[in-house]
């Protein structure tokens, strides 16, 4: 027993690091000697440890000594040449001679600095090892070439000469040491590496230069940059570069420039401007030549140069400064930046050839081409053109100036484009006219509401100054192809005619001046409404479910659904405002339909999942005339599609919306309620005088006016109004009871408030106590949990 305990204690102690005993000296000696042997085994396992390697190594070292001796003797007499390489010396001895000659060949252009000489020797030694003893090499031979190209700037001629020297050396090695590897592939791989290195270096140089040119905002900095690196990269850079004299004639051109212009086009002694692309293009491609004698203002312009055998390319000319001081007098270096190589710039240039600068709309020519193409094919049926003319723009220009007028035109153009997004093409025909091309059945179907939206958005005010805004009178003209019209030009003429006719009939007046604040608000609303329409069409809106609970037990009985629109910039705008606005622009119906469809779908799904205890879905319909015929039809269709018990889908409607223009309740309401839907009066407490008129309408519930609910639990000092709130609420709830309506009180945050409204007779509550609004899944999870708890409690 005791021994067991000791064993256990020893084991336990050995597990705790701090209690472990140090090992004995004997153990340590054993470990150290074993480690020494293991290390020796590792070290001796390398070829370096063999005697053969040792002998070759010593031979190599001796050869190095001999070479130095030969070199010292040689240098005292005259420079060593290929013929002077001493014959009797070992092959490795000649290596050093080769290294010296090689360095000289590479450095013949004074490009190699003193610092790089050790690198050169190191590379050459490695290079030779690849031939003599490949197993000893540490750097791949192509890597040597690459590194060399990266570090040492040389000319192709010098490089070729250095390779010849090397080949000569290897050939002599081959004669003396037949066991050496074949050196031809080594040279080949080296050359590949060198070429890759040169390319990388040139590209790097180009990137650096172009990057620097892009960044340099000041013309002087451009010139300084060009001057600083110009001669260094002139002949090797793949950028078109050259030198011009003060007369503008090219005196030097590098290969890249010759390639750009065309190999067989004489470049020297020509004016740079004369090389510009010159065809019957519709835009001037080559503007006036910059003044060469104005050194303080080097030009940077977009030009189009061309090669006879290639497509025209865009270039930007960067001029350097005169180099009067140290170089040849009057040299003006220039760099043609091939901007077509830059994707972003190329896109922009392509875009700019097809789009007009002012409004960034497709150019008129582009528009006409498209119109002609559509008219000629006629696959899509009728082709139509609508034109919008901002008729009183002249008055705006006269009153506020051309800058303000331009701003207004731009804003209106943006609105037009937004409203006519579905159209085939929108373009600017002239300063005040925008044309909309319509083709295809889809576009024709959408054109009615689009034009309506367009007129409304264009008549909306536009801010011209910080204090004032104007609204214009848009003239709309339309023309469709087919007899009596002929080609595209004829269609445009007819469109003008149509606009003129409209002008005579509308008799447009001076611009209306509006306060800017109102204008801004209206302008943003226009954007919002357009965006909402898009969001609904593309399912960019979501439903948010706020739980509605029982006033007695707080159990979740249903959800109050609101439209949630994640607009990127307008996210702070209350959805009610947007819906009101949407109503103005005719998108309410779309929003209502969308909400009804989604809510019905959710209700049906929940019914399938939760059965009899399924929560209801209550949606708010906007206040202004929501109950249109199409909405009724849509609702009926959805109800027929998803069948679920009565009251699972609830429509919450303000009292004001329940009466028609004659003050009578909508007859359709009766039909609706018999169809499995519940109608809820929203804002119960408002417009009490209208309530008697709704007698006979089968309502199922009422939601207390949120303002009344808020006053009921106001924390501020009691006022006369507060004192009266409670009896009013009580009276309302009693009234609702009389009408057999379930009363919902919004804005309940605490249990005390819930108890209070329960005592007043309310049935349902909504607010922080029941939970904040979430997704459909969130509410579903809450209901599931509550049902599980309920089941367990049972």
Partner 1 sequence: MTHDGNEHGPVRDDKVSAEFKSVYVELRGFVARSALMRDPGVDAEAVAHDIMMELWEKWSTFADTQHRKAWAFHVARHRYVDYQRKASRERTVSDPETAAMDRLTQVDDQTRIAYREALQEITDLPDDERDVINLQLNGFTLEEIAKVLDISTRTVSRRLEAARKQLRTRLGRRAPRQPPPLSDPGPPASPADGDDDHDGEGAR
Nearer to partner 1, 25 or 279 (CB): 25
Beta-carbon contacts of 350 under 8 Å, excluding residues fewer than 6 positions away, are none
Three-state SS at 109: helix
Calculate Rg over the CA atoms of the chain.
44
Q: What is the DSSP string of 646-671?
A: TTSEEEEEEGGGGB-TTS-B-HHHHH
Candidate list 1, 4, 17, 792; residue touching partner 1; CB under 8 A: 17
In the complex, what is the shortest distance from the CB of residue 25 to partner 1, in angstroms, rounded to a whole number? 7
- Which residue bears the tokens 């731009």? 410
Checking 126-133 for CB contacts under 8 A at 24+ apart, the result is 127/166, 127/186, 127/190, 128/92, 128/95, 130/181, 130/186, 131/170, 131/173, 131/180, 131/181, 131/183, 131/186, 132/91, 132/92, 132/173, 132/177, 132/180, 132/181, 133/56
Q: Is 52 in the site for partner 1 (CB under 8 A)?
A: no
Nearer to partner 1, 16 or 344 (CB): 16
Contact region for partner 1 (CB under 8 A) — 36-44, 273-281, 393-401, 416-424? 36-44
Contact region for partner 1 (CB under 8 A) — 30-38, 100-108, 357-365, 442-450? 30-38
Nearer to partner 1, 46 or 504 (CB): 46
- Which residue bears the tokens 């939760």? 610
Nearer to partner 1, 45 or 612 (CB): 45
Candidate list 2, 3, 6, 49; residue touching partner 1; CB under 8 A: 49
Nearer to partner 1, 12 or 211 (CB): 12
In the complex, what is the shortest distance from the CB of residue 212 to partner 1, in angstroms, rounded to a whole number? 27
Angle subtended at Cα 471 by Cα 467 and Cα 475, rounded to the nearest 5 degrees: 160
Q: Is 203 in the site for partner 1 (CB under 8 A)?
A: no
Candidate list 2, 4, 25, 689; residue touching partner 1; CB under 8 A: 25
Q: Is 114 in the site for partner 1 (CB under 8 A)?
A: no
Cα–Cα distance measured from residue 656 to residue 586, given in angstroms and rounded to the nearest whole number = 19
Candidate list 90, 117, 121, 155; residue touching partner 1; CB under 8 A: 121
In the complex, what is the shortest distance from the CB of residue 14 to partner 1, in angstroms, rounded to a whole number? 5
Q: Is 3 in the site for partner 1 (CB under 8 A)?
A: no
Give buried/exposed letters for 465-495 (b at 16+ CB in 10 A, else e).
eeebbbbbbbbbbbbebeeebeebeebbebb
Nearer to partner 1, 38 or 220 (CB): 38
DSSP 268: T
Q: Is 24 in the site for partner 1 (CB under 8 A)?
A: yes
In the complex, what is the shortest distance from the CB of residue 120 to partner 1, in angstroms, rounded to a whole number? 13
Nearer to partner 1, 69 or 537 (CB): 69
Tokens of 28: 């340590």
Give buried/exposed letters for 26-43 (b at 16+ CB in 10 A, else e).
eeeeeeeeeeeeeeeeee
Contact region for partner 1 (CB under 8 A) — 39-47, 107-115, 557-565, 652-660? 39-47
In the complex, what is the shortest distance from the CB of residue 35 to partner 1, in angstroms, rounded to a whole number? 5
Cα–Cα distance measured from residue 99 to residue 315, given in angstroms and rounded to the nearest whole number = 44
**Of 53, 133, 120, 51, nearest to 92 (Cα)?**
133
In the complex, what is the shortest distance from the CB of residue 545 to partner 1, in angstroms, rounded to a whole number? 50
Three-state SS at 546: strand
In the complex, what is the shortest distance from the CB of residue 32 to partner 1, in angstroms, rounded to a whole number? 6
Contact region for partner 1 (CB under 8 A) — 38-46, 197-205, 719-727, 732-740? 38-46
CA torsion sign, 634 to 600 to 648 to 543?
Answer: negative
**670, 697 contact by CB (below 8 A):** yes
Question: Is the omega angle on the peptide bond into residue 484 within 30 degrees of 0, that is, cis?
Answer: yes
Cα–Cα distance measured from residue 162 to residue 733, given in angstroms and rounded to the nearest whole number = 103
Q: Is 31 in the site for partner 1 (CB under 8 A)?
A: yes
Report strand pairing: 512-515 vs 541-550. Answer: unpaired
Candidate list 43, 328, 445, 517; residue touching partner 1; CB under 8 A: 43
566 sits in which H/E element: none
**435, 477 contact by CB (below 8 A):** no
Cα–Cα distance measured from residue 302 to residue 285, given in angstroms and rounded to the nearest whole number = 8
Nearer to partner 1, 74 or 440 (CB): 74
Candidate list 37, 452, 576, 784; residue touching partner 1; CB under 8 A: 37
243 sits in which H/E element: strand 241-244
Nearer to partner 1, 34 or 381 (CB): 34
Nearer to partner 1, 68 or 347 (CB): 68
Report strand pairing: 556-565 vs 616-620. Answer: parallel
Q: In the beta sheet, which residues pair with residue 617? A: 559, 649
Candidate list 1, 2, 42, 344; residue touching partner 1; CB under 8 A: 42
Q: Is 45 in the site for partner 1 (CB under 8 A)?
A: yes
Nearer to partner 1, 103 or 770 (CB): 103
Beta-carbon contacts of 378 under 8 Å, excluding residues fewer than 6 positions away, are none
In the complex, what is the shortest distance from the CB of residue 332 to partner 1, in angstroms, rounded to a whole number? 43
In the complex, what is the shortest distance from the CB of residue 28 to partner 1, in angstroms, rounded to a whole number? 5
Nearer to partner 1, 101 or 560 (CB): 101
**649, 599 contact by CB (below 8 A):** yes
Candidate list 109, 117, 123, 139; residue touching partner 1; CB under 8 A: 139
Nearer to partner 1, 121 or 459 (CB): 121
> How many chain residues are in contact with partner 1, going by CB under 8 A?
48
Candidate list 33, 324, 576, 775; residue touching partner 1; CB under 8 A: 33
Cα–Cα distance measured from residue 431 to residue 411, given in angstroms and rounded to the nearest whole number = 13
Site string for partner 1, 55-74 (x = CB under 8 A): x-xx--xx-xxx-xx--x--
**619, 652 contact by CB (below 8 A):** yes
In the complex, what is the shortest distance from the CB of residue 156 to partner 1, in angstroms, rounded to a whole number? 28
Nearer to partner 1, 43 or 265 (CB): 43
**482, 422 contact by CB (below 8 A):** no
In the complex, what is the shortest distance from the CB of residue 208 to partner 1, in angstroms, rounded to a whole number? 22
Q: Is 282 in the site for partner 1 (CB under 8 A)?
A: no
Q: Is 138 in the site for partner 1 (CB under 8 A)?
A: yes
Q: Is 36 in the site for partner 1 (CB under 8 A)?
A: yes
Beta-carbon contacts of 698 under 8 Å, excluding residues fewer than 6 positions away, are 669, 670, 673, 674, 679
Between 183-215 and 117-132, two packed helices, what is the crossing angle to 10 degrees?
Answer: 150
Q: Is 27 in the site for partner 1 (CB under 8 A)?
A: yes
Three-state SS at 104: helix
Nearer to partner 1, 56 or 399 (CB): 56
Nearer to partner 1, 65 or 204 (CB): 65
**Of 549, 555, 544, nearest to 788 (Cα)?**
555
Q: Is 134 in the site for partner 1 (CB under 8 A)?
A: no
Site string for partner 1, 72-91 (x = CB under 8 A): x-------------------
Contact region for partner 1 (CB under 8 A) — 48-56, 170-178, 250-258, 573-581? 48-56
Q: Is 113 in the site for partner 1 (CB under 8 A)?
A: no
Tokens of 26: 């004997």
433 sits in which H/E element: strand 433-439
Q: Is 775 in the site for partner 1 (CB under 8 A)?
A: no
In the complex, what is the shortest distance from the CB of residue 83 to partner 1, in angstroms, rounded to a whole number? 23
Q: Is 21 in the site for partner 1 (CB under 8 A)?
A: yes
**Positions that interact with partner 1 (CB under 8 A):** 8, 11-12, 14-15, 17, 20-25, 27-28, 30-40, 42-46, 48-49, 51, 54-55, 57-58, 61-62, 64-66, 68-69, 72, 121, 138-139
């Amino acid at each position: 027993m005791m021994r067991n305990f000791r064993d256990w204690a020893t084991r336990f102690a050995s597990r705790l690091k701090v209690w472990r005993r140090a090992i004995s000296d004997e153990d340590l000696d054993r470990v150290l000697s074993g480690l020494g042997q293991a290390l020796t085994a590792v070290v001796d396992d390398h070829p370096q440890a063999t005697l053969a390697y040792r002998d070759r190594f010593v031979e190599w070292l001796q050869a190095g000594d001999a070479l130095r001796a030969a070199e010292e003797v040689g240098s005292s007499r005259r420079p060593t040449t290929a013929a002077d390489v001493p014959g009797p010396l070992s092959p490795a001895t000649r290596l050093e001679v080769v290294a010296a000659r090689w360095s000289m060949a590479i450095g013949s252009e004074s490009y190699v600095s003193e610092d790089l000489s050790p690198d050169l020797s190191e590379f050459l030694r490695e290079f030779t090892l690849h031939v003599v003893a490949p197993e000893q090499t540490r750097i791949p031979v192509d890597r040597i070439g690459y590194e060399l190209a990266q570090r040492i700037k040389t000319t192709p001629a010098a490089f070729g000469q250095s390779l010849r020297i090397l080949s000569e050396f290897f050939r002599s090695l081959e004669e003396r040491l037949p066991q050496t590897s074949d050196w031809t592939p080594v040279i080949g791989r080296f050359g590949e590496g060198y070429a890759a290195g040169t390319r990388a270096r040139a590209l790097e140089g180009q990137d650096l230069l172009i990057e620097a040119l892009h960044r340099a905002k000041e013309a002087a900095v451009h010139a300084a940059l060009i001057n600083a690196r110009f001669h260094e990269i002139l002949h090797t850079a793949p950028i078109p570069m050259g030198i011009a004299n003060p007369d503008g004639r090219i005196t030097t051109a590098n290969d890249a420039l010759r390639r750009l212009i065309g190999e067989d086009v004489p470049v020297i002694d020509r004016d740079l401007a004369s090389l510009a692309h010159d065809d019957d293009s519709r835009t001037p491609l080559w503007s006036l030549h910059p003044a060469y004698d104005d050194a303080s203002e080097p030009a940077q312009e977009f030009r189009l140069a061309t090669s006879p055998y290639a497509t025209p390319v865009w270039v930007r000319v960067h001029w350097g400064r005169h180099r009067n001081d140290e170089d040849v007098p009057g040299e003006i270096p220039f760099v043609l930046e091939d901007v077509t190589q830059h994707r972003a710039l190329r896109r922009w240039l392509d875009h700019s050839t097809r789009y007009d600068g002012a409004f960034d709309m497709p150019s008129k020519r582009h528009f006409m081409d498209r119109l002609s193409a559509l008219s000629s094919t006629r696959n899509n049926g009728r082709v139509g053109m609508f034109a919008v003319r901002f008729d009183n723009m002249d008055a705006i220009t006269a009153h506020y100036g051309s800058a303000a007028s331009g701003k207004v035109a731009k804003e209106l153009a943006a609105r037009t484009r937004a409203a006519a997004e579905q159209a085939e093409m929108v373009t600017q025909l002239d300063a005040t006219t925008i044309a909309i091309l319509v083709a295809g059945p889809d576009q024709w179907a959408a054109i009615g509401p689009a034009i309506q939206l367009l007129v409304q958005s264009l008549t909306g005010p536009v801010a011209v100054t910080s204090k004032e805004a104007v609204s214009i009178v848009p003239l709309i003209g339309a023309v469709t192809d087919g007899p009596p019209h002929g080609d595209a030009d004829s269609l445009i003429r007819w469109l003008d005619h149509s606009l003129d006719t409209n002008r005579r009939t509308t008799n447009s007046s001076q611009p209306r001046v509006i306060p800017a604040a109102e204008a801004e608000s209206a302008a943003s609303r226009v954007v919002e409404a357009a965006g909402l329409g898009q969001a609904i069409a593309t399912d960019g809106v979501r439903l948010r479910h706020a739980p509605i609970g029982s006033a007695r037990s707080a159990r979740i009985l249903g959800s109050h659904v609101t439209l949630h629109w994640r607009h990127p910039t307008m996210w702070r705008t209350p959805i009610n405002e947007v819906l009101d606005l949407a109503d103005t622009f005719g998108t309410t119906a779309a929003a209502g339909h969308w909400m009804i469809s989604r809510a019905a779908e959710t209700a049906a799904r929940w019914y399938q999942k939760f059965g009899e205890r399924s929560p209801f879905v209550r949606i708010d319909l906007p206040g202004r005339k929501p109950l249109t015929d199409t909405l009724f039809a849509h609702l009926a269709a959805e109800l027929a599609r998803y069948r679920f018990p009565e009251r699972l889908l609830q429509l919450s409607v303000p009292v004001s919306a329940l009466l028609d223009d004659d003050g009578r309740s909508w007859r359709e309401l009766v039909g609706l309620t018999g169809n499995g839907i519940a109608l809820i009066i929203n804002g119960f407490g408002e417009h009490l005088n209208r309530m008697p008129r709704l007698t006979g309408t089968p309502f199922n519930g009422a939601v207390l006016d949120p303002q009344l609910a808020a006053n009921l639990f106001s924390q501020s000092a009691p006022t006369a109004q507060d004192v009266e709130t409670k009896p009013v609420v009580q009276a309302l709830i009693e009234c609702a009871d009389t009408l057999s309506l379930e009363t919902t009180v919004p804005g309940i945050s605490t249990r005390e408030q819930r108890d209070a409204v329960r005592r007043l007779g309310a049935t349902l509550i909504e607010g922080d106590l029941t939970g904040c609004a979430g997704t459909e899944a969130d509410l579903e999870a809450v209901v599931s949990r509550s049902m599980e708890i309920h089941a367990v409690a049972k």
